[in-house]
Amino acid sequence: MTRGPHARARHTRPQPSAMDKLLWQHRAVARDSLQRLLRSPVATAITVSVIAIALLLPALLFLLQQNLGSGIAELDRSARISVYLETGLSDSEAEEVSNYLQTWDSLLSVELVSSSQALADFSENAGLAGVLASLAENPLPATLLLIPRTSDLADLEALQAELESLPEVAVVELDRTWIARLQAIRNFVSLLGRALLLFVLLGLFAIIGNTIRLAIENRRQEIRVQKLVGATDAYIARPFLYTGFLLGSAGGLVACLLLLVLWLLLGQSSRELAALYNNGFELANLSLVSAIGLVLLGGGTGWLSALISSYRNIAAIDP
Amino acid sequence: MIRFDDVSKHYAGGQAALSQLSFEIARGEMVFVTGHSGAGKSTLLKLILGMEKSSAGQVLVNGSNLNRLPRNKIPYHRRGIGAVFQDHQLLFDRSVADNVALPLQIAGFHPQETRRRVRAALDKVGLLSKEKMFPERLSGGEQQRVGIARAVVNRPQIILADEPTGNLDPELSADVMKVFEQFKSVGVSLLLASHNLSLVKQLNYRTLTLSEGRLIRDGRS
Ligand SMILES: Nc1ncnc2c1ncn2[C@@H]1O[C@H](COP(=O)(O)OP(=O)(O)OP(=O)(O)O)[C@@H](O)[C@H]1O
Ligand SMILES: [Mg+2]
């Protein structure tokens, strides 16, 4: 019952499609929301900074976790797997096993310590040459020192099982305490990041929701009039949803910029630190995908908190 | 088009603002509502617009029962009604033209079409030259006419007007009445609340007279 038959008779222009209507309205509304935000630059800047700093904390933990991951990978190259072969093997048989393991992609390097070499080392170091010389046979096994490519504990354990299944292999010793410790730290940081993210999102809901509530309060009379001339709650909410989205994504963008600044500041000293440890470690920055993710996370959170806040507060205004 | 069946309205904690009202307004009919201050004229219009709900009885508008209309359908109900409010209800942070454009923007008209209709509506009430001004700068009568332009701009099927000529001199009042009569002539139903008994008498339309919320007379003045 928007228009009567008389209106149609006077007005012969074809009606715009619902899609076109939505498009005009959204364009106008988005522009209006942006203008309103820019009209009070100080308040907007404060809100955006608060959102940015809130988002910065979990993003930093996320980066720390990633850097710990690549740090572990670097450190692991000094962590080895020791493989003790069966004692009965001859030096050439041990050589064969070593050559076979060289072909494995999962291993970075394979170093063979033959049983005769082990015997020589042992007698030199321990001063037990006499005792050993009296034995008819060499009691020491050949040993393979392996450097694995992976740093993941589960992958290492799978590798260990695979090595143990070889018939020539007696015992596989994995130096896992160091790895397990680092992995535990990494898991802890990751968990902390996720917990923090949850709290930050709740905080953002409160901050943005309250900003929207105040904006609605300021435009109470306008909303009353809009309702009187037939605006739906969804129509009235639209500019506030844009406001929430714009605030949130601006916060995400500023958080990305802050991360970039931090990275530039820390990058040099981290390289120096890595050089001291003779380590190729390079401080990782946020990837482009993660940066876009952070902006969208901010925007999405802003939109959702505006949605919740505006529906509650707009419905409460009854003309 | 509008039908009241035994309608009563009590405000929370107050006495009856309307009691047991029954009447019907046809398509293309123009009707006045008169009565002393506090007789219930504004309340009557608010019931039709869905701003208030009746305490008893049925209000039917264009075949739909407002008591049973879900909350989310009320906006669409209001889009078919052009309302002039006793306190104008203009927005002071935007120009006259933007105030009048509001119902069209909400209905999703193209900006160009909106502009064309807004100018036509402002022309009808003699305010075309002031379209860029802000309502604050306008006289009471001019503000009232902005409200009238906004009420008719979407070519509604029903026009409700609460004291539409309250601040207007006789000449302007007559002009505004002519605008309303044009709408009546194309089938719009109009319900006009007015204190101005001489104007009501002179125009000689059907008149509902309220007294303390009761309908005491229904007929030509
Ligand atoms: N929101 C409200 N809450 C409580 N009582 C109200 C409310 N609105 C109106 N009333 C009461 O209802 C009665 C009718 O009011 P209404 O506004 O309909 O009168 P009216 O005929 O429009 O008067 P006027 O000519 O002065 O505008 C009055 O007694 C008024 O005090
Ligand atoms: Mg009144």
Q: What is the pLDDT of residues B113-154, one digit of tens each?
A: 999 999 999 998 999 999 999 999 998 889 999 999 999 999
User: What is the side-by-side order of every strand in the sheet holding B206-211?
Assistant: B81-84, B158-162, B189-193, B30-35, B206-211, B214-220
Does residue B149 share a domain with residue B95?
A: yes
SS3 content of chain B, % helix, strand, coil (to 5): 40, 25, 35
Nearest-by-Cβ selection for A1 from B62, B83, B93: B62
- Residue A303 CB contacts under 8 Å (≥ 6 apart), including other chains: A241, A244, A245, A248
Q: Among residues of chain B, what percentage have pLDDT more than 90?
A: 63
Residue A76's Cβ-count burial label (10 Å; 0-12, 13-18, 19+) is buried
The mean pLDDT value for A38-51 works out to 92
Among B41, B46, B48, B87, which is best to mutate for testing ligand 1, by the most ligand atoms less than 8 A from CB?
B41
Among B8, B10, B11, B162, which is best to mutate for testing ligand 1, by the most ligand atoms less than 8 A from CB?
B11
Closest by CA position to A33, among listed A241, A309, A299, A234: A241
Q: What pLDDT sits at residue B221?
A: 64
Does residue B179 share a domain with residue B90?
A: no
A-B C-beta contacts closer than 8 Å: 86
Q: What pLDDT sits at residue A12?
A: 47
pTM over the 0.80 mark: no
Q: What pLDDT sits at residue A274?
A: 66
Does residue B73 share a domain with residue B49?
A: yes
The CATH architecture assigned to A80-175 reads 2-Layer Sandwich (3.30)
CA distances from B169 to A174, B35, B131, B144, B164 (A): 100, 21, 21, 12, 12
**Last residue of some domain: B155, B179, B208?**
B155
CATH number at residue B3: 3.40.50.300
Q: Does A218 touch chain B (CB under 8 A)?
A: no
- How does pLDDT run across A75-116, given as a tens digit for each residue? 655 567 888 888 888 888 888 888 998 888 888 888 888 888
Quote the CA–CA distance of B61 and B138 in Å, as a whole number.
34
Selected for mutation to probe chain A from B66, B76, B102, B160 (highest A CB count within 10 Å) is: B102
The mean pLDDT value for B19-27 works out to 92
The mean pLDDT value for A284-305 works out to 88
Listed ranges A6-10, A130-134, A190-194, B104-108; the one with the highest mean pLDDT: B104-108
Does residue B206 share a domain with residue B149?
A: no
Q: What pLDDT sits at residue A10?
A: 46
Does residue B214 share a domain with residue B182?
A: yes
Q: H/E element holding B201?
A: helix B197-203
- Kindly indicate the confidence band of residue A264, based on its pLDDT and cuts at 50, 70 and 90: confident
Quote the CA–CA distance of A248 and A250 in Å, as a whole number.
5
Q: Is the pLDDT of residue A297 over 60?
A: yes
**Last residue of some domain: B107, B123, B155?**
B155
Residues of A in contact with B80 (CB under 8 A): 1-2
Residues of B in contact with A238 (CB under 8 A): none
Closest by CA position to B95, among listed B123, B125, B122, B75: B122
**For all residues of chain A together, what is the average pLDDT?**
82
| Four-point Cα dihedral A117, A118, A120, A123, nearest 10 | 180
Into how many domains does chain B fold?
Answer: 2
CA distance A233 to chain B (A): 8
The Å distance, Cα B133 to ligand 2 centre, comes to 28
Query: ipTM of this predicted complex?
Result: 0.91
Question: Between residues A289 and B46, which one has the greater pLDDT?
Answer: B46
Q: What pLDDT sits at residue B16?
A: 86
Classify each residue of A264-294 as buried b or exposed e, where b means 16 or more C-beta atoms within 10 Å of its C-beta: eeeeeebeeebeeeeeebebbbbeeebbebb
The mean pLDDT value for A251-277 works out to 81
CB contact under 8 A, B111 and A229: no
- How does pLDDT run across A125-156, given as a tens digit for each residue? 666 666 666 676 777 788 888 888 777 778 88
Expressed as residue numbers, the domain containing B98 is 84-155
Find the distance separating the first CA and the last CA of chain B, reported in whole Å: 22
Protein residues whose CB sits closer than 6 Å to any atom of ligand 1? B 11, 14, 17, 35, 37-43, 86
Does residue B214 share a domain with residue B186?
A: yes
Question: Between residues A119 and B32, which one has the greater pLDDT?
Answer: B32
Q: H/E element holding B23?
A: strand B16-25
Does residue B93 share a domain with residue B126?
A: yes
Which range among A12-26, A213-227, B6-20, B113-127 shows the weakest confidence by mean pLDDT? Answer: A12-26
Alpha-carbon dihedral sign for residues A57, A59, A63, A69: positive
- How does pLDDT run across B155-173, given as a tens digit for each residue? 999 999 998 888 788 888 8
Does residue B167 share a domain with residue B68?
A: yes
Does residue B146 share a domain with residue B193?
A: no
CB contact under 8 A, A21 and B154: no
Q: Is the pLDDT of residue A30 over 70?
A: yes
Residues of B in contact with A229 (CB under 8 A): 78-79, 83, 102-103, 106, 150
Q: Is the pLDDT of residue A283 over 80?
A: no
Does residue B170 share a domain with residue B73?
A: yes
Does residue B215 share a domain with residue B117?
A: no
Q: Name beta bridge partners: A174.
A: A81
Q: What pLDDT sits at residue A7?
A: 43
Does residue B56 share a domain with residue B42?
A: yes
- Look at ligand 1, atom 6, and give the residue with the nearest C-alpha: B11
Quote the CA–CA distance of A132 and A23 in Å, as a whole number.
90
**Last residue of some domain: B103, B122, B155?**
B155
Per-domain residue ranges for chain A? 24-74+181-315, 80-175
Count of other CB atoms within 10 angstroms of residue A22: 13
